[in-house]
Amino acid sequence: MYFPLSWSGRQYLILEGYPGDTYSVPFSVSRYEPIDLTRSASVQAKTTTALIVQTKSGMVRGNSLGATRVQALAPELRLEKLTYQSVAEAAQAKRKFEQSRATAYVEYDTPIEAFGADAFKKHQWSLLNTGQKKGVKGADIGLTAMQKRIAKKKQTTTLVAVIDSGVNPSYADFAGKVRMDLGYDFVNRSKTAWDDHGHGSHVAGVIAAGSDNTYGMTGINAKASIIPIKVLDENGAGYTSDLVSGINHAVKKGAKVINLSLGGDTSSKSVESALSYAKSKNVLIVAASGNAGKKTVAYPARSKYVFSVGATGRTDKRASFSNYGTGLDLVAPGVEIPSYLADGEIAFASGTSMAAPHVAAVASVLYSLKPTIKASDVESFLKKSAKDLGTKGYDTTYGYGRLNADQAASYIK
């Protein structure tokens, strides 16, 4: 039997039997910390038999070249997904599309994957680092100071799209915070973006879990509402075509901030089109830099339309797994971050996937304080307010520095 850490009172074990029966019931009482998901299994790569085709403006695509299914991804961007029966048929169709004057570009639908007074508040070093577990005091995002700064200011609700594996909205900490009515499941083509993996719920918890309600943990923005958009399946894997649809959906539903704790190595023209469209609508896109420890930021984080976030640990040093390099904008805590899984358990997870929602959440706070603010100004405030780490000034290891929520909020007048 397992009981939550917030459990208090007596626990009883009821046994049924007959007079004279004897029982031997071994037991132990332990206080477990959250599950550690730092070492998660790698996602199996998906093969693709599908293409994404953009038709040139004012032109009409001739035919589908034998596609078994044609799906409109983003009509505004003239993007379609065409699925074929085999890899060979897809390759043959791709060559023919490349030769067509009506084609702006064609690419494979490539795989993407997930990158990684409350009972657990004391474990949330990213919000308040007192030096616990050999950390450095103050190596946190300054949440307490920010909360004091904005306590008497008017805040409006800000929509944050979590494009991920979905969200489980049933937790008490998510009550009234997850807009399932605005979300969508592009994996199963369902109106309900339910999380069957856990990654999306973990990300959403960092952003918007209820605070000081004894349920589990503390989210960064009490005024954030989550739009759950599912593009990753139960294994944390997905395709760029669904990511394109997810970004487009988030813009249509009014998201001010989009969190992308996912990606891969391969750039995508169709994703670039969707990101460009989102930015043109004054939406801030925050993306994780990747977990391969490479000197190359993953995609879509390295896109010029995206605010890229790497991860730091308890001592304000770059996490060993965190990708860095040209295009990195900021770093934020991403090591041993507690939040929810799909089944309601709280687990520690490490990754740039955990760093990105810290930034997305603070960005949403700035929007909530000033709804008319431009995305470009939010980016500017996040950069100017960051705590400089590493080489003085901007560098490719820490970008403009580590997220500083309180200083960022100080720019909102």
Q: Which residues are catalytic?
A: 164, 199, 353
**Can you point out the beta strands (E) in 154-299?**
158-164, 184-185, 224-230, 237-239, 257-260, 262-263, 284-288
Q: How far apart are CA 23 and CA 219, in angstroms?
A: 45
Q: How far apart are CA 71 and CA 64, in angstroms?
A: 11
Q: How far apart are CA 322 and CA 176, in angstroms?
A: 33
Tell me which residue of 362, 360, 355 sits closest to 332, measured CA to CA.
355
Q: How far apart are CA 2 and CA 12, in angstroms?
A: 12
Tokens found for residue 218: 């503390």
3-class DSSP state of 349 = strand
| Angle in degrees, CA 377, 226, 368, rounded to 5 | 35
Note the maximum CA span of the chain. Answer: 88
Tell me which residue of 372, 344, 287, 340 sits closest to 37, measured CA to CA.
340
Q: How far apart are CA 71 and CA 278, in angstroms?
A: 21
Q: How far apart are CA 37 and CA 35, in angstroms?
A: 6
Rounded (10°) CA dihedral 113, 143, 347, 343: -80
Contacts of 252 (CB under 8 A, 6+ apart): none
